[in-house]
Structure 1
């Protein structure tokens, strides 16, 4: 359930993951002049936006991270709940390391390690076609991540290629599962009994 198995990428995919990662990290080098006056939790400076989140950097170590933010007054806040899930899942293979979570002004904030391209990015790079070997290798890791989540008593409820990312650097061949905002407990942590579904 917590396998550290990582498949060897083909030369083409490896090249894409590495170049994607290098471009992403290189783009972060310019965050010094973008929104860098704002510091979250006394630790992280906000950088350029990425998808629904942002890049950031630790004020002391300059480690580049991914930052998700949401307005605390939103109708259905998810980040603080998602941070609790990350806490429960920490240590699992293919689960991003959570760096910090908390509130900043009117926002809830979640900081996790920076990751590489999503499986959707890889799929489009490969002309919307993976080899059978790649499909099997990816599926093995994805199923292992889902199995680990289930072993902790939760369902993801938003499984899609965008929510599986490749790692960076030495972990470029490892698949990570992200975005647990819609996850839901399906087993009682005390009795281990199945929780009835409610609409």
Structure 2
């Protein structure tokens, strides 16, 4: 699908899907930065993407919160563009034969608790805390845990 979103994000291959809709790899055509593009049918009976984008705006600036780059409607879809992130903690745990060292557990737990505390300090309760909703960063942020899925 060769489509430009919000005037500057080129949509690439599908990288995930779920009850929320579909997730695509994208690239900012002005900077070359890779992003994640989340699509939801604008005709859905229970739209969540607009609500989720508002929560990303509320939480912006917090460590381990993906940056909301754009939200809007394109054709028949609600579209949200955020930072591209790495594997989920569930993916990582499976990759490591479902065993983490004590050092890894402590590093992850410290960051996860910090993310949850930050959300609570902003008056937000996540309601779906699980390894699939914590992702690792990429590149220089590969050791940083990010909280996602605020829908």
TM-score when scaled to structure 1?
0.72
1:40 lines up with 2:5 in the alignment: yes
Match of 2:91 among 121, 145, 154: 121
Give every structure 1 segment of 4 or more consecutive aligned residues whose post-TM-superposition deviation is greater than 4 Å.
none
- Alignment partner of 1:95 out of 59, 65, 79: 65
SS of residue in 1 equivalent to 2:54: helix
1:188 corresponding residue in structure 2: none
How far apart, CA to CA, are the structure 2 residues paired with 1:58 and 1:121?
26
SS class of match (1:95): coil
Q: Distance in 2 between matches of 1:72 and 1:92?
A: 29
Q: Which runs of 5+ in 1 are unaligned?
A: 1-34, 182-199
Question: Which residues of structure 2 form unaligned runs of 5+?
Answer: 18-22
Q: Which residue of 101, 105, 109 corresponds with 1:139?
A: 109
Query: Secondary structure of the residue that 1:155 maps to in structure 2?
Result: coil
Aligned length: 146
Aligned-CA RMSD value: 0.8
Residue by residue, what CA displacement relative to the aligned partner does 1:55-89 show, whole Å, maximum 9, x if unpaired? 01112222110010000111111101000000010
Aligned to 1:106: 76
1:1-199 superposed matches below 5 A? 35-36=1-2, 38-52=3-17, 53-181=23-151
Larger CA Rg, structure 1 vs 2: 1
**Alpha-carbon distance in structure 1 between the residues aligned to 2:30 and 2:92:** 33
